A and B are shown apart, each in its own frame.
Chain A
């Protein structure tokens, strides 16, 4: 039961719970954070996750804030990021944000698992 680690960064507890539950069902190790700063802390304290599921709209340090920090840190900059958001604008943004994939909330579980699988192989 110790599959690849997935970092979930989302301010909503219910979302974190649901993501954590469904990914755990698929044998991923899930680490959660409520905002960007917490997400960065989790990145540094544990062995780096294989993929990051990132919410865009969050209080304090949001998705963009997290991305800036992550990209600035060479040790974690290469970890692929999957953007999970209900914000159409964030979804429509170009590749310059540097995210590997974008998933619209509410996400299809199959789609989610396929994307996570792609970056954890």
Chain B
């Protein structure tokens, strides 16, 4: 406040001040007395308010106020306030002299004297109308902006260049969860937290980019705004830099929108579009589909016919193993009545019912079964499997090939399996192996009784639960070996057989088979069959206990027409019913066993024959050597006699000795002839050269030939009987028979009559009888004289090898005939030879 009462230069300073005030044109400066009347006026006041000095001095300053303000007492209130407070500033409309209004900025200052007494007021006014108007306009535009912002549906956040929030509209408040009051001044990223929808990574704040790049940037798609309360919203936004006139960036405006609903709507829309498209496509393809279905059905029908016609089982299984499809063959293989029954069977039933084994009959691990492998992603594979149906014990072999069917994702959706039944081959292989094994067994030893016992062991339980081998001895079957799965039952079986021997007259069973050479097969053994075979109620009870279910009885026959025994195999298990294939196998075994028996017998016989021949050779050697030794002695003696001087006196003696020498030569000749006969008979099993001949004529010729010998022995020979007995015989060998019988008679009945008879014993049967009256043959010798090297008497005076009667028997039997002897010691002997006419 200027001190108007300063002493020194007060006048000069007053003058300076007066000039300053008066000349100040932009300010109205004037004084008021304590009551408010104008006491001074300057040029500025005149210019601003329109009153000249002379007009206004002495007038109350309320003149400058609008009438309403004067009425309201404002002028006097201002004076009072200035008086009280020393100074009042005010802005407001004032009235000019011409009544127009101007916006005045006013300072009213109380002026007091040195004693503090109020002496008036200074009033300083300035015309602020244009400024006021501009300010009003700004205010208005701000208000408009605020209203605009408030009414905008999008959220809006403005920041300063530092990225701090300066402004938020209600939508932004709502979406961010930040009241604008709290948000103000916060870094934008605190208020506006955004992440990528998928990665959940924080997305670069758009404000930073807008600030950096100085241009409008949009948000990346799939941006999520995380509100203060954690609610997430999909938003779309853009950020725009706020530029000053000079181009500098003053901040950023961020506008964003909640897209959750929009997104949902979009999704729904897209879905609808897709559904529409799908429906359209479906409808469009429905016709094509129907057509294609028709075709498919036709193809599948044909395919079905093909699959049904295939000899292999075909199944399709889903990954759980459930059977989706099976052809009839597959169902039949597995023992189901139909394919439907098989596909309807629960998986657990299939698993429980069938046991799987590999080619060597080891249990097959589940994961190695081709269909399981295919379903497990193991690709196609093939394996020989042995399947056993636990429900009934039936089993079969199959080459199982499985192929996976992959779904669109490359994972197996199903497996198709082809079951190629190789049971028959496998059985054949098994049988072959079995035959090889048993063949080895049968040929392992020539002791066939032991071998056959081993065979019965090999047959149980391979072929049955019971197995017995009986050998034919004469007309009786002798039980050679018996075997049972339970060894304890073997002795029981023997006891039973001893107690109830099989009836030789039975029309079925071992005796019948031994008689006919024809096998018997009993797939089933009904009780009536047991009852028919039982010899007593007790027997029936016992055989019922055996529990026979199926049986086979096969002859041991090395060749057609020859039976050496019978093999019986019995099953007591319901699972094993014999059929043709089993019987065929047993028949082969029967034949092999019979051959083994026969081989063993033949070997025994051959060994015997070799022994006999060795003995024969020893005897023959001795027999031949003896006359030779005598012959040599005689010849050497003759040589010595011839060298002596007195030869002449020894003529008689020489003659006698030469006769003996000739006789020795004859003896040797006889022996050699006999040997030749034997070799002729035994060479090549005596094949006959049959021709029509008359036995009577034949015998007569032999008698003629032997006439000298018979006479020489002082005997007679007569022939009686029919005049002609015709037949078809080997003439040369029958000659040998007759010769031997006559020689025999001469040898053992010298000097006695020999009576021969030839007659027809019965139609087509010739009979030759040779009767002598010699020493006869004791009953105990009668059976063996027909053997080789047998003589009823041991004295060698009778000469020869003793092969004559053996030769007779061989030739007669080769003709299908027989020879027998009736004799007693001292009563002579009668030989009867009977020959079929051939």
Nearest residue (CB) in A for B644 is A25
Against B, the Cβ 8 Å flags (1 = close, 0 = not) of A34-59 are: 00000000000000000000000101
A77 at interface by CB-CB < 8 Å: no
Q: What's the least CB distance linking B563 to chain A, in Å? A: 44
- Residue pair A15, B796 in contact (C-beta under 8 Å): no
- Residue pair B633, A12 in contact (C-beta under 8 Å): no
B495 at interface by CB-CB < 8 Å: no
Write out the residue numbers on chain B whose beta carbons fall within 8 Å of the beta carbon of A59: 794-796
A49→B634 CA distance, assembly (Å)? 23
List 6 contacting pairs A-B, 8 Å CB cutoff, sorted by A. Answer: A14-B663, A57-B622, A106-B628, A109-B632, A109-B633, A112-B633
| Pairs of residues from A and B, 7 with the lowest C-beta to C-beta distance, nearest first | A109-B636, A106-B629, A18-B633, A22-B637, A14-B630, A18-B630, A105-B629
- Residue pair A14, B797 in contact (C-beta under 8 Å): no
Nearest residue (CB) in B for A106 is B629
A11 at interface by CB-CB < 8 Å: yes
When the two chains form the complex, which single residue of A12, A21, A25 contacts B660, counting CB atoms closer than 8 Å?
Answer: A21
Against B, the Cβ 8 Å flags (1 = close, 0 = not) of A84-113 are: 001000000000000000000111111010
Write out the residue numbers on chain A whose beta carbons fall within 8 Å of the beta carbon of B626: 12, 14-15, 86, 105
Write out the residue numbers on chain B whose beta carbons fall within 8 Å of the beta carbon of A109: 632-633, 636-637, 640
- Residue pair A107, B630 in contact (C-beta under 8 Å): no
A68 at interface by CB-CB < 8 Å: no
B746 at interface by CB-CB < 8 Å: no
- Residue pair A25, B633 in contact (C-beta under 8 Å): no
Among A13, A14, A15, the most chain B Cβ lie within 10 Å of the Cβ of: A14
- Given known contacts A11-B796, A59-B794, A22 and B640 CB-to-CB distance under 8 angstroms: yes
A105→B621 CA distance, assembly (Å)? 12
- Residue pair B795, A106 in contact (C-beta under 8 Å): no
Q: What's the least CB distance linking A115 to chain B, in Å? A: 14
Q: Which residues of B contact A (CB under 8 A)?
A: 621-622, 625-634, 636-637, 640-641, 657, 660, 663-664, 667, 794-797
- Residue pair A25, B629 in contact (C-beta under 8 Å): no
Write out the residue numbers on chain B whose beta carbons fall within 8 Å of the beta carbon of A57: 622
Nearest residue (CB) in A for B797 is A13
Write out the residue numbers on chain B whose beta carbons fall within 8 Å of the beta carbon of A107: 629, 632-633
Q: Which residues of A contact B (CB under 8 A)?
A: 11-15, 17-19, 21-22, 25, 57, 59, 86, 105-110, 112
- Given known contacts A12-B796, A13-B797, A14-B627, A106 and B633 CB-to-CB distance under 8 angstroms: yes
When the two chains form the complex, which single residue of B625, B633, B641, B663 contacts A86, counting CB atoms closer than 8 Å?
Answer: B625
Nearest residue (CB) in A for B639 is A109
Write out the residue numbers on chain B whose beta carbons fall within 8 Å of the beta carbon of A22: 633-634, 636-637, 640
A110→B636 CA distance, assembly (Å)? 9
A84→B415 CA distance, assembly (Å)? 98
Write out the residue numbers on chain B whose beta carbons fall within 8 Å of the beta carbon of A14: 626-627, 630, 660, 663-664, 667
Nearest residue (CB) in A for B625 is A86
- Given known contacts A15-B626, A15-B629, A106-B629, A21 and B637 CB-to-CB distance under 8 angstroms: yes
- Residue pair B636, A108 in contact (C-beta under 8 Å): yes
Q: What's the least CB distance linking B657 to chain A, in Å? A: 6
Write out the residue numbers on chain A whose beta carbons fall within 8 Å of the beta carbon of B664: 14, 18
Write out the residue numbers on chain A whose beta carbons fall within 8 Å of the beta carbon of B660: 14, 17-18, 21
- Residue pair A25, B630 in contact (C-beta under 8 Å): no
A21→B636 CA distance, assembly (Å)? 11
- Given known contacts A14-B667, A25-B641, A19 and B796 CB-to-CB distance under 8 angstroms: no
- Residue pair A25, B625 in contact (C-beta under 8 Å): no
- Residue pair A105, B636 in contact (C-beta under 8 Å): no
Nearest residue (CB) in A for B794 is A59
Write out the residue numbers on chain B whose beta carbons fall within 8 Å of the beta carbon of A18: 629-631, 633-634, 637, 660, 664
